[in-house]
Amino acid sequence: MTDETRATGSTTAEPFAARPTTAVEVADLVRHAKESGLRLTVVAGGHGPWARTPAPGMRIELEVLSHIDVDDAVVHIGGGAVWGDVAAALDAHGLAISSGDTGSVGVGGLTLGGGIGWMVRAWGIAADQLIGAQIVTAAGDIVEASAAENPDLFWAIRGGGGNFGIVTRFDFQAHRIAGITLGEHTVTDTAPALRALRDLMRDAPRELTVTYIDVPPMDPSAPAGARLTAVWAGVDPDRLRSVMGPVSHVAGVEADYSTPAYREILLGPSEPSEGADTLPAFIGGNGLFADLDDELIDRLIDFRSTHPASVVLLRSLGGAYSDVVQESTPFPARSANWFVMAGGFDVPGLVDDATRERISADWGRIQERRIAEYGNFAVTERTEAVPGMFTESALARLREIKAKWDPENLFRRNHNIEV
């Protein structure tokens, strides 16, 4: 253990961080937290919205457990790794895993919550590529989970969040890929472009995943304005250009195509940028939707134009995402074809109580027909919202598994599944 970890023998509730270097040390810490009645927070790399907020008790930071070992096309990844480092390591082997779209996103948090990434239509969510894991349970035991060993636990961690233990190693089935084709499109006339995109994606090849984002000048994570990014699983710019023709030929759309390495589309540094934890609060939400129909498009456009400090994000689903039988993982809404997020930034001095109420009401009208909420984009702990993140049968099963593996709810700083 680190010196910081050794110094934490006190049972006080004062906050302290521990940075274990092995699964055995993680298990020791879990037993200590349980025996001492300490509130436990787990940080699995990345930039979770509340995990880095100081809280009484013990915070286990897994950043040292960040190894990346490649065995043919099976990849063993430490629970504290981030996706940017994983993509860079796999690139040398001609491999990739469908993951987040930012290099600083943690492997653990993204995978446990599902993981909608750039290759979601080609390969599914991150959890769909998981074939095994090493987990420290609430009892302080180190167990293996796979389809053959502790299959209930393996089922639960593929979308059920961090409720069931601390994953110290993920085993993924990676995909061989020579490279990708990237299409970047600026959009100045939103409505016709989104309608054309919606129509295209209804029957698009699964090699294609698209993301649309419209952000204000204040957002430091992306250039201002509306743009559409198309990612093709393969090096074939002529094919992508042809497939995207119905959208790129719409008036007000300008397109540019390139063939970068897969790792290059994981934007951002390997660590959260300075000031990332001081961004304004977010008023809005997200959802998994069956279709991007005209009414939903109109409401999103109206939302963005009505609220200057707002963002709209869309990502296509379907393809391999929808191939997965609903009951085979806890992740909801396998029938959804679009992920949608919209919200306003609560900028001090710009947003008053009346504006907050209008933003919330406008988002409420957008979310009316969503199938489910995607937990990885839900930025606050809301136990009351958990039923909306799963099917009724999946939530019932998750509660049974939670009662078996964590009956005292030690792992509760998450979208908590209460027994």
121: exposed, middle or buried (C-beta count within 10 Å: 0-12, 13-18, 19+)? buried
What's residue 221's pLDDT? 63
Contact 338, 275 (CB under 8 A): no
Indicate the SS3 state at residue 265.
Answer: helix
Task: Compute CA 159 distance to the chain's CA centroid, rounded to the nearest angstrom.
Answer: 10
Structure-token pair, residue 180: 């990708």
Output phi, psi for 3, to 5 deg: -60, -35
Which phi-psi region, left, alpha or beta, contains residue 42 (left: φ > 0; alpha: ψ -120 to 50)? Answer: beta
Contact 116, 332 (CB under 8 A): no
Amino acid at 269: P
- Whether domain 68-177+394-405 has CATH 3.30.465.10: the reply is yes
Domain limits of the chain?
17-61, 68-177+394-405, 181-377
What's the rounded Cα separation, in Å, for the pair 75 and 149? 18
At residue 203's C-alpha, the angle toward residues 95 and 327, to 5°, is 65
Which phi-psi region, left, alpha or beta, contains residue 313 (left: φ > 0; alpha: ψ -120 to 50)? Answer: beta
E-strand ranges in 117-173 read 130-136, 142-145, 166-173
Indicate the SS3 state at residue 111.
Answer: helix
Q: Which pTM does this prediction carry?
A: 0.92
pLDDT tens over the chain, length 419 residues: 443 443 344 444 567 899 999 999 999 999 999 999 999 999 987 666 555 566 789 999 999 999 999 999 999 999 999 999 999 999 999 999 999 888 889 999 999 999 999 999 999 999 999 999 999 999 999 999 999 999 999 999 999 999 999 999 999 999 999 999 999 999 999 999 999 999 999 999 999 999 999 999 876 666 889 999 999 999 999 999 999 999 999 999 999 999 998 888 875 544 444 444 556 789 999 999 999 999 999 999 999 999 999 999 999 999 999 999 999 999 999 999 999 999 999 988 888 999 999 999 999 999 999 999 999 998 788 889 999 999 999 999 999 999 999 999 999 999 999 98
* CATH fold label, 181-377: Vanillyl-alcohol Oxidase; Chain A, domain 3 (3.40.462)
What's residue 101's pLDDT? 83
What's the rounded Cα separation, in Å, for the pair 312 and 228? 12
88-93: long-range contacts at Cβ-Cβ below 8 A with a sequence spacing of 24 or more? 88/263, 90/174, 90/262, 90/263, 91/261, 91/262, 91/263, 93/174
Helices 190-201 and 294-306 cross at an angle (nearest 10°) of 140
Task: Compute CA 7 distance to the chain's CA centroid, rounded to the nearest angstrom.
Answer: 34
